Amino acid sequence: MSKLLKRALKISLTPAILMVAGKFLGILIPTLMFDIEFAVQNEMIGISSIQILYPNSATTLFINSISNLVMLVLIAVPTIYLIIKTSLYQSTLQNPRTIVKITKLNILNWITKKNSSFLQIFIWSSFLLVTASIIIVHTIQNMTYTWIGVSSGVMAFFCIWGTIRTFELEIAKIYPEEKNYY
């Protein structure tokens, strides 16, 4: 197995675990917090054989919406963090004024090259896109509140834009513009 593939698999473990944990915690916490009755059924209807059943459709909509929101937040926050961190780092390399602004805000230690790469941003953004796709499909099927579906779509759009922007910055390091040298 190549080094790149091993690294990609290693990076993708964290967002995959967070997706599953977010969905599970999003179901478990509101169910216990609001003392909602549920039943567990074991049938082969869909992808999973285990199903959690709630007393009515409004409760199912509420629990599914909360679980989708928790899953979205657990994937989106680290993705946005990585994109902003890498973008600010690249900006400090190209523009000394950014260093002054970052020093005034006292976040200079936050902006480092350590643990941030395009591969990591790409994988996290891919997981965010999958999460947003799941939520949008649930919204279209009326299984999630509309505002959660819209916000997931907007968040995915901006993270994909940030990923493309980060890719452009990485490419600019490899293939610099000619006007910088004349």
Question: How buried is 152 (Cβ within 10 angstroms: 0-12 exposed, 13-18 middle, 19+ buried)?
Answer: buried
Q: Are 127 and 72 in contact (CB under 8 A)?
A: no
Maximum average pLDDT range among 116-125, 143-152, 159-168: 143-152
Residue 116 reports pLDDT greater than 70:
no
Size of the chain, expressed as the number of residues it contains: 182
Query: What does the pLDDT look like over 37-71, one tens digit per residue?
Result: 988 888 776 666 778 889 999 999 999 999 999 99
Q: Mark out the alpha helices in 42-145 (DSSP H runs).
A: 57-94, 96-104, 118-140
Q: What is the pTM of this model?
A: 0.83
Question: How buried is 97 (Cβ within 10 angstroms: 0-12 exposed, 13-18 middle, 19+ buried)?
Answer: exposed
52: CB partners within 8 A, 6+ apart: 27, 38, 39, 40, 41
The overall average pLDDT reported for the chain is: 85
In the chain, the percentage of residues whose pLDDT exceeds 90 is: 51
Number of domains observed in the structure of the chain: 1
SS3 99: helix
Rounded to whole angstroms, how far apart are CA atoms 95 and 126?
A: 29
The domain in which residue 9 lies consists of 3-181
160 phi and psi, to 5 degrees?
Answer: -65, -40
Query: What does the pLDDT look like over 141-152, one tens digit per residue?
Result: 999 999 999 999
CA torsion sign for 168, 16, 156, 113 is negative
